[in-house]
Amino acid sequence: MLTLNTFFRLFFLLGILPCVIVLYGIVPQKARRWVLLLSSYFVFWAFSGKLIVYLLFSTLSVHHFGLWLSGIQMEEQQLLSGLSKDEKKSVKKRSKNKQYAVIFLAVVIHIGLLLILKYSAFFATNINTLLGVMGSDYSLEVPKYILPIGISFYTLQAVSYIVDVYRKKIQADTNLLRLAMFMSFFPQILEGPICRYSDTADTLWQAPKLKYENFLLGLQRIVFGIFKKLVIADRLNLFIQNVFNDYRQYDGFIITVGVALYTLQLYAEFSGTMDLVIGSGQIFGITLPENFKRPFFSSSISEFWKRWHITLGAWFKDYIFYPLSMSGPLKKLTAKSRKKLGNHFGPLISGSIALFCVWLCNGLWHGPAWHYIFFGMYHFAFILLGNIFDPYFSRLAAFCRINRRALPYRCFQIVRTTVLVCIGELFFRSNGLKAGMIMFKKMITEFSLKSLADGTVFKLGIDAYDLIIVLISTGILFFVGLLQENGVSIRDGIMKKNIVARFAIYYAVIAFIVVFGAYGINYLPVDPMYANF
């Protein structure tokens, strides 16, 4: 089986993607979808071996549940004709109950499988610790499962498909192959984005003809992704590994630099991989959803999560937050609390309960460990505090005559949000919650510029040369982001230039990556960071 580390080099630098593109381009139209499906299964098999059966099972299962739900909905429609209002109500209620039962079963099977494979060892270990504290000799056996690649991503796609059929947002697909393509499209297997059936299934099934314009646009995006990954993320890897693994040896300054650089690395790696994935899709004429929208221009934690890992946040919002907060008991709570506490704090109580569940799931989704749960709760706390105090901040700003939409105030908000995000990422990356706490404490109590003055900071995997390249590259990222924030489409601008100027830009970027990319024996390429989630 292949390791995760080989994914990037194998697919985007050494040629599996080009092979699929060539094959896709030369086969007849009807065979194109087969090229995509078989390539996808080949990639799954290459990384997961026989664990591909989980993907096949999930695909067969959602297909079956979709048709089951659709059958109940059609039966309801047939029964409704010619009935009185009361009889219609009763038929609808019976049908709803049946559909709830089907949804429940489907969610239990799919999420249950994920829970067993991903979390059973975590739960067993914690139960054993608890039993030990209580003085019990009994202990549970800690199971060991190998996690199939991409299961956290395709399970969420599977659940969204079934719920969308239930909500009649989409029709259940009778075509098993189309559903299989939606569940397995190969560029997105490792790190998403988490797609919805309504967004990608039809285009994947149509398998559009290759177009020169799509090819160029896709390639542009891929090159930009390689730039982020090779020039920034990989260059920082050795330093970050040193800081996070041997944090006890370093002072607060080095840890602060490590945390800031890790946040930059995570963004460069994850958004860079998304560029590769979305660019690959674009080459085939398939539009995949965006996962990043310049998150470091956010003015609050809440806004940050609308711009960072967008498809995960949207999934939690659509399938956990709103269903929970719009459920009978929470709606009643909202109505009651609104009467007592008013329009602001009333809905905040039920909303906070739903929000707590979202952030608990978000933390756990990232991994079965307490520091991930802490990461979720950390963001929950800031979003909640933001919601509670927002009206007071508005009044205070009005009293002090501060324009909250003015540039200086927005800059202050952006810096504040970035600092809070960096601290969150410290706990996210740390080797356990205790290590995260110690590192955070060191950042505050042991901060001194001594390690900068004596040059220790430049002996941990990055030197001044590396730092200058990272700073220039981050400056380029910031400049591109700033233009995009102001509605300037750089890619359209490049496409409008004449062929000489266009290719001069392409070659300049490629030359920059070749010269300043971090590869070879002195560097440690970073694994796809979201692949293990």
Partner 1 sequence: MDKRLIEILEELQPEVDYYTCTELIDGHYLDSLTILSLIAEIEDEYDITVPTVEIIPQNFNSAKSIWEMIERLKEE
Nearer to partner 1, 194 or 526 (CB): 194
Omega of the bond leading into 347 within 30 degrees of 0 (cis)? no
396 phi, psi to nearest 5 deg = -60, -45
400 phi, psi to nearest 5 deg = -85, 5
Question: Is 528 a binder of partner 1 (CB under 8 A)?
Answer: no
489 phi, psi to nearest 5 deg = -95, 105
Give me 244's structure tokens. Answer: 């996070």
Question: Is 160 a binder of partner 1 (CB under 8 A)?
Answer: no
**344 close to 384: Cβ distance less than 8 angstroms:** no
**72 close to 102: Cβ distance less than 8 angstroms:** yes
Tell me which of 150, 252, 347, 436 binds partner 1, using CB under 8 A: 347
Question: Is 116 a binder of partner 1 (CB under 8 A)?
Answer: no
Alpha carbon distances (Å) from 181 to 39, 70, 190, 209, 403: 10, 20, 15, 17, 50
Tell me which of 311, 334, 362, 451 binds partner 1, using CB under 8 A: 334
Tell me which of 93, 344, 450, 459 binds partner 1, using CB under 8 A: 344
Q: To the nearest whole angstrom, how small is the minimum distance from the Cβ of residue 322 to partner 1? A: 5
Question: Is 355 a binder of partner 1 (CB under 8 A)?
Answer: yes
Question: Is 167 a binder of partner 1 (CB under 8 A)?
Answer: yes
Tell me which of 13, 116, 335, 402 binds partner 1, using CB under 8 A: 335
Nearer to partner 1, 64 or 169 (CB): 169
**52 close to 149: Cβ distance less than 8 angstroms:** no
Q: To the nearest whole angstrom, how small is the minimum distance from the Cβ of residue 80 to partner 1? A: 14
Q: Contact region for partner 1 (CB under 8 A) — 88-96, 105-113, 126-134, 321-329?
A: 321-329
Question: Is 497 a binder of partner 1 (CB under 8 A)?
Answer: no
Tell me which of 78, 84, 343, 486 binds partner 1, using CB under 8 A: 343
Rounded to an integer, what distance in angstroms lies between the CA atom of residue 285 and that of residue 365? 31
Sign (positive or negative) of CA dihedral 394, 398, 402, 403:
positive
Rounded to an integer, what distance in angstroms lies between the CA atom of residue 182 and that of residue 375? 31
Question: Is 322 a binder of partner 1 (CB under 8 A)?
Answer: yes
**197 close to 486: Cβ distance less than 8 angstroms:** no
Q: Contact region for partner 1 (CB under 8 A) — 57-65, 68-76, 302-310, 524-532?
A: 302-310
Question: Is 387 a binder of partner 1 (CB under 8 A)?
Answer: yes
Residue 263's CB: how many other CB atoms inside 10 A?
21
Q: To the nearest whole angstrom, how small is the minimum distance from the Cβ of residue 299 to partner 1? A: 8
Question: Is 338 a binder of partner 1 (CB under 8 A)?
Answer: yes
Look at the chain and count its residues: 533
**525 close to 12: Cβ distance less than 8 angstroms:** no
Question: Is 89 a binder of partner 1 (CB under 8 A)?
Answer: no
Question: Is 321 a binder of partner 1 (CB under 8 A)?
Answer: yes
Binding-site residue total for partner 1 (CB under 8 A)?
29
Nearer to partner 1, 233 or 330 (CB): 330
Q: Contact region for partner 1 (CB under 8 A) — 29-37, 109-117, 331-339, 409-417?
A: 331-339
Question: Is 346 a binder of partner 1 (CB under 8 A)?
Answer: yes
Give Cβ neighbours of residue 205 (< 8 Å, ≥ 6 apart).
Answer: 33, 175, 177, 178, 181
Q: What share of the chain is helix, strand, coil (3-state, %, to 5)?
A: 80, 0, 20
Question: Is 291 a binder of partner 1 (CB under 8 A)?
Answer: no
> Could you list the residues that contact partner 1 (CB under 8 A)?
167-169, 302-303, 306, 317-318, 321-323, 325-326, 331, 334-335, 338, 343-344, 346-348, 350-351, 355, 387, 394, 404-405
